[in-house]
Structure 1
């Protein structure tokens, strides 16, 4: 792996051509990197630790999904859940699992993965561990779009989701234009996002004052972020968006890693810096908008998932797949914990992730301040 230094984010670097890197305290941390040659002659270098961590996170996400399917007013064992999924359960179990609970879990997995990848892209492009879509105002943009539909048009579920997508995409386009000056620079994008977030939050509060009691209750419930009542109508559109945008983001994983060395080094290596930034950010914005439309603005998953994935893999670069799996783990596990602690459908998952993510944000700010980065 080539040496990569990520300014301001505490990224550890590895020596070129060696399976080692330097840890945060200057001590060498040896890494096992294996070269793999495909049948077509393409040579790939795999970080074994990152691969193993990704597979472990995927297994944990699936296990958490099975546990979540088995939770509720009619509890089921993992064996019964698997039996119902494979056609080995009775008619009642198969209806509960396939029609009532499986869509909720699939939405949770897809939303968590979308937020995880989007957060990794944003943090890589901005070179800032706080560069998250929910911190930079994209969730607020989707909230404005959804609330406009709820307050002024009394739209249904599909209309609210469409409004959230339009609001998120419009926010992304506006932020791109405001931050553009001979390309998009990370610090400008962060400043525009923070300012825009404050303005959009003010718009959200204004819309709530214009709503009647029924509309305000519905809007507040949506803004908390929840997986309650999710069905196949939310699964299929989100799955289609993820099937297109996640491979697109992964395709730009290597150029994004080169961007961490700085624009000049990336240009020297043949990376079209502005093109990579725009396409990667566009994919991330669309993923955030689609995920928010499906489950509401669930806070802090996009912020914490990439950071936790990076600390587990100890690998430089955006770590897109581990971040996606970590996002899925965080969201599904939080939803399961909310059901176990407060009962089914009593606590929206967005409230729990907001509390836990806020604590993580305070810890991250403390770490960054002690290291002298902020």
Structure 2
């Protein structure tokens, strides 16, 4: 029992005393809560679900839009909203044990948040230094914005340093002006503006690459960010060294190909981009007009006949009313914990199932290594137990 349990049970007992009923003992409360957890666990197994959100094996990071991962930079999934992010992209240097929640689900699970830098919903959020929220990808691309801690990538700071002219720019993708801060095309003499998340959903060319510069004070490492509108984006995926060289006529050139074929390929690529742009505009408009959906917390539903079975063995006055109140309290407590079981041993089972879903097949080798280590420690424990018995026999004879 924790402080919430003690407070709830005290309130219920006060009401029962005022009604002339005997109070419910703490031992009975603990037994019933334990039974509810076990019955809920069994109900979830019978229903074919394991209190684990479905994981898309082909999911990509919503920040960098890449599905590749390494041992030191895996893709994490939020246990509440299924957000997929790389460790490095979201600022998670160490994989947490047990449940992992993104910052939005951890600090604002029941209320949708808005990005201060764009009008789009959903995605990977972090809080700003003034208590607002912003997309991590927006903070990465807006030049004036940064992170107070570059390891954990939070909080997002310097939002106040964004010039007023940037706030007034209108996004040519979603057709909204003054809603967030836009960035502009890197093509010389092109002032087309767009929101970072709008450009990401439209599939515009956006690339970050490390750059080393040798200076008298030593070598400095920086990041070069290049983004183009659909009219100037490189269609072969190579942006060149500067925005001036990124035009459809130059970037589609293939060595040895006739000029007519190059122009036809360029026109076809631009046509595809324009069609995709219309689809994105329609999709963004639908999302703005729809209500933001909140992640649903999965709590097992215990059948009434099961409740009646173990309630029949309970020696409590008006036990039917008490069981209903207790079940409601248990459900609310599970929801406040984002569906995580209250019993520690069931939490470990919950995590093991999640790992079985998320870990790739190649980790079977690691499992075999851990199994061998477990067998070694078991043999060592048995040998130590034998040694202890021999020592006891030796002192017994003496």
- Which of the two has greater strand per residue? 2
For normalisation by structure 1, the TM-score amounts to 0.24
- Which of the two has greater helix per residue? 1
Pick 1 or 2: higher relative contact order, CA cutoff 8 A, min separation 6: 1
For normalisation by structure 2, the TM-score amounts to 0.23
